[in-house]
Structure 1
Amino acid sequence: GVIDLDNISLFPVNTWKGRENGLREDIVQLLADLQPGFLRFPGGCIVEGRTLAQRYQWKKTVGPLWDRTLLINRWNTEFGHRPTPDYFQSFGLGFFEYFQLAEDLGAEPLPILGCGMACQFNTGELVPLADLDPYVQDALDLIEFANGPADSPWGQVRNSMGHPEPFNMKYIGIGNEQWGPEYIERYAIFEKAIKEQYPDIVIISSSGPFPEGDFFEYGTSELKKLNAEIIDEHYYNTPEWFRDNATRYDDYARGGAKIFAGEYAAQSVRTTSPENKNNWECALSEAAFITGLERNADLVVMTSYAPLLAHQDGWQWTPNLIWFNNLEAYGTANYHVQKLFSNHRGNELLAISTFDGKVVAGENDLFASSVKNTNSGEIFVKLVNTSDKKQQLEIDIKNQQLEGTATALILSSDQLTDENSFENPKKIIPRESELSAINNHLSLEIDPYTFMVIKIGLE
């Protein structure tokens, strides 16, 4: 006879944490090794769609796999260098799976929702304000899906998928890279409705696609008038820009909105170029920039590199943090920079400066930040040398009682064009070295083009 098969989805037996129809172990392990504080999903511009009809709708990505509505992917014809007109989403990976992944990783879930605006780089189609209610209701229903009791309407859907307990979602993002008055007036409507029903949910807003210029200045100014809690800033720029902007937040006003560095990656050629590489210059420059984020951790409360994942044969955008094919996955040099920072976080920020009181943020091509982890009893000093010369450093640590030894985790490469690859996935990975800390003093030499994390135990 004849058998018609409607929905086929094949999975390996061994998935992350043994989840049925789960995710690939090796890829998720790379994510887990980052010890992420949060997971932003389902991405950026994908939430908006090229048109409103083609936008990402979370309600169509939950429930039985065979009932989830197929959707053409908004990236199908976005890039002329790699058109993919047959690129569809089955939503086998939907909002439930994203929440589940965040839970498995021990990370806070951070869903991003459309705000009634199609991607402004495409059609920029708008929902009239009078017709915005269904979009706002989607946000309210998502909070119920994530946090509501198992017998609530959307909590029942979560319960039916095998998760009666709430996901305890704390954050929600409204809009991605939107700009202009149309975004501000729509954001205000979302903010009012969410806060009335769920006052404890923290709302993340958008400052637009660029870190400066008219769109950025207008959006940031208007959001502050609305008392926005966290503003999402994005930076895709040259390695030089990242080094030059290590002091970006030193003089930002305090007492208002916090900052989420939601998408950033140094571009070795130019933004959207298919020739961009995950090379060491980009990764090293990002390390220099992140010292500035950490130094201003009272203001910059969340950061995330983007994009996260790319298939060896199925990419349209470079660079990306993790590359994989059907059998292997590896972390780029940028990945190891992120990992060194995320694995050596503190809960107290320590001031670090030159002996004459200057911030270490580019003078002599050196960048630095330092934190203390009172739980582990350690100090972490991050040092970045972006010059082509070795530099001798003398470090005095005040008001702390140190153990006699310290460990240096060193990430370095001789050539700025070096990068990890499937052929050589460990070309740029950290190596360890022991240091002596005598009378709260460290004397060390840092090689050219090097990022170093010094772990110092406290007595």
Structure 2
Amino acid sequence: MNAEPVLAVYAGYSLKGAYVKPGPDLAPYVQDALDEIEYVTGPATSKWGSLRAKAGHPAPFTLTYVEVGNEDFFDRSGSYDQRFAQFNTAIKARYPNLQIISTVGFEHPENQRVRSVTPDVVDEHYYRTVDAFLRAARGQYDKYDRKGPKIFVGEWGAYETPFEPWNPRSRGEAPTPNMRAAIGDAAWMTEMERNSDLVIMNCYAPLLVNVNPGARQWRPNLIGYDALRVYGSPSYHAIKLFATNVGDEILKANATDTDVLVSVTRDSRSRTLYAKLVNPGNAASPVQLQVTGATLRPTATALTLAADPQATNSIDAPDRVVPVTSQVTGVAPGFTYTVPANGVVVLKLGLR
């Protein structure tokens, strides 16, 4: 998969309010975290690295990020600040190059955040309605301090119902999201991509769901499966479009006189512009694309995901909502492209 893990370590808080006091009581858990890091990254000659090698993986894993706890904003004791600091001090002393993530981000009140030290990264979680993501996609991260911690959006997902995913009524809904939710997800991705100097990682959650009756705990989920089959939701296809069509440079992009959300990156090696366009409206929307400082090739490729807002995929109809590829001609400075209603489009524009 060419993937690198984010290692999460238990930080002394358990649900329903139980927590370990900072100081001597927390020390054994800090040592557990150090041992776990050695198991992942230590040489095969080390105590814990040798156990990894014995288990069949002699080479150390690459590790950059360690997250201290998970959703410790539920801890009403106020102890997370000192618990995080204790872990941070110990981990940095032995592994100074590791980036330490606070599980309380800027979406929570200041008195819940870590204040005694500055985390390298903070983890923000967002389960929002589609409309809430559409609003957030119009500048939430523009206001963040670029000198502050980086952002890991470690859990996020749009829901299309009038009630939250944890509401018991969600049990009667489809296990995976529909096209309307995919629009909210794609809109949010434009915001994260435009601000990827700050937002360094993101992770939709949950990823997988067993669609057999009674097997699931939550909705919406990105990918559904049973014992023999698997399918991707519209949101899966939207995320894949973003993840597989991205450059190495963020370009400034403005959308005026339109509700279409936009993000543009450039691949400096292939000389390709990737323009992501998200139309949340129920009518097609023409967008005039002005590209300055570069000459475009006359043809382009459009990858389009569009459908009725209620349309979705299922284990029996896995390809009802999937991207289609088409060619675009007449590409020139100021050309107009029409984004379909309830549509997500990636335009691949070649540069001369």
State the Cα deviation string for residues 212-251 of structure 1 (Å, max 9, x = none): 4xx443334x34x511111000011211111111121111
Q: Which residue of 2 aligns with 1:443?
A: 336
Pair 1:229 & 2:120 matched: yes
Pair 1:289 & 2:289 matched: no
Matches within 5 A, 1:1-400: 105-119=1-15, 123-129=16-22, 130-179=24-73, 180=76, 181-207=78-104, 212=107, 215-220=108-113, 222-223=114-115, 226-246=117-137, 247-269=139-161, 270-272=164-166, 273-277=170-174, 278-313=177-212, 314-354=215-255, 364-400=258-294
8 Å Cα contact 2:67-2:102 kept in structure 1:
yes
Q: What is the CA–CA distance in structure 2 between the aligned matches of 1:283 and 1:439, rounded to whole Å?
A: 30
Q: What is the CA–CA distance in structure 1 between the aligned matches of 2:335 and 2:42, rounded to whole Å?
A: 53
SS at match of 1:192: helix
Aligned residue type for 1:229: D
**Change in 2 beyond 3 A, CA 1:438/1:307:** closer
Q: What is the CA–CA distance in structure 2 between the aligned matches of 1:219 and 1:128, rounded to whole Å?
A: 16
Return 5+ residue gaps in structure 2 as ranges.
none
8 Å Cα contact 1:310-1:320 kept in structure 2:
yes
**Change in 2 beyond 3 A, CA 1:233/1:275:** farther
State the Cα deviation string for residues 353-400 of structure 1 (Å, max 9, x = none): 14xxx5xxxx64211110011133211000011111111121121112
Q: TM-score, normalised by structure 1?
A: 0.71
Q: Which residue of 2 aligns with 1:68?
A: none
Deviation at 1:340, TM superposition (A): 0.6
Segment drifting more, 365-374 vs 173-182: 173-182
Q: What is the CA–CA distance in structure 2 between the aligned matches of 1:294 and 1:156, rounded to whole Å?
A: 40
State the Cα deviation string for residues 270-315 of structure 1 (Å, max 9, x = none): 2313245411111111111111111111111111100011111211
Segment drifting more, 433-442 vs 283-292: 433-442
Q: What is the CA–CA distance in structure 1 between the aligned matches of 2:104 and 2:330, rounded to whole Å?
A: 44
Aligned residue type for 2:188: F
**Change in 2 beyond 3 A, CA 1:458/1:136:** same
Q: What is the CA–CA distance in structure 1 between the aligned matches of 2:32 and 2:159, rounded to whole Å?
A: 35
SS at match of 2:201: strand
Q: What is the CA–CA distance in structure 1 between the aligned matches of 2:276 and 2:331, rounded to whole Å?
A: 19
SS at match of 2:44: coil
Q: What is the CA–CA distance in structure 2 between the aligned matches of 1:451 and 1:439, rounded to whole Å?
A: 22
SS at match of 1:249: helix
Segment drifting more, 292-301 vs 262-271: 262-271
Q: What is the CA–CA distance in structure 2 between the aligned matches of 1:151 and 1:236, rounded to whole Å?
A: 44
8 Å Cα contact 1:405-1:436 kept in structure 2:
yes
8 Å Cα contact 1:403-1:437 kept in structure 2:
no
Q: What is the CA–CA distance in structure 1 between the aligned matches of 2:278 and 2:317, rounded to whole Å?
A: 24
Deviation at 1:256, TM superposition (A): 1.3
Aligned residue type for 2:159: Q
SS at match of 1:154: helix
**Change in 2 beyond 3 A, CA 1:450/1:178:** same
Return 5+ residue gaps in structure 1 as ranges.
1-104
**Change in 2 beyond 3 A, CA 1:226/1:275:** farther
Deviation at 1:140, TM superposition (A): 0.9
Q: What is the CA–CA distance in structure 1 between the aligned matches of 2:126 and 2:41, rounded to whole Å?
A: 32
Q: Which residue of 2 aligns with 1:432?
A: 325
Q: What is the CA–CA distance in structure 2 between the aligned matches of 1:327 and 1:140, rounded to whole Å?
A: 40
Q: What is the CA–CA distance in structure 1 between the aligned matches of 2:140 and 2:172, rounded to whole Å?
A: 28
Deviant stretches of 4+, over 6 Å: none
Aligned residue type for 2:224: W
Q: What is the CA–CA distance in structure 2 between the aligned matches of 1:275 and 1:289, rounded to whole Å?
A: 26
8 Å Cα contact 1:268-1:276 kept in structure 2:
no
Q: What is the CA–CA distance in structure 2 between the aligned matches of 1:400 and 1:435, rounded to whole Å?
A: 18
8 Å Cα contact 1:207-1:216 kept in structure 2:
no
Q: Which has the higher strand share?
A: 2
Deviation at 1:143, TM superposition (A): 1.4
Q: What is the CA–CA distance in structure 1 between the aligned matches of 2:42 and 2:122, rounded to whole Å?
A: 26
Higher relative contact order (CA 8 A, sep 6+): 2
SS at match of 2:59: coil
Q: What is the CA–CA distance in structure 2 between the aligned matches of 1:124 and 1:276, rounded to whole Å?
A: 31
Aligned residue type for 2:58: P
Cα RMSD (Å) of the superposition? 1.6
8 Å Cα contact 2:165-2:220 kept in structure 1:
no
8 Å Cα contact 2:131-2:184 kept in structure 1:
yes
Aligned residue type for 1:243: L
8 Å Cα contact 2:300-2:331 kept in structure 1:
no
State the Cα deviation string for residues 107-161 of structure 1 (Å, max 9, x = none): 1111212101102xxx221113221111111111121111111010011011101
8 Å Cα contact 1:267-1:276 kept in structure 2:
no
Aligned residue type for 2:69: G
Deviation at 1:438, TM superposition (A): 3.8
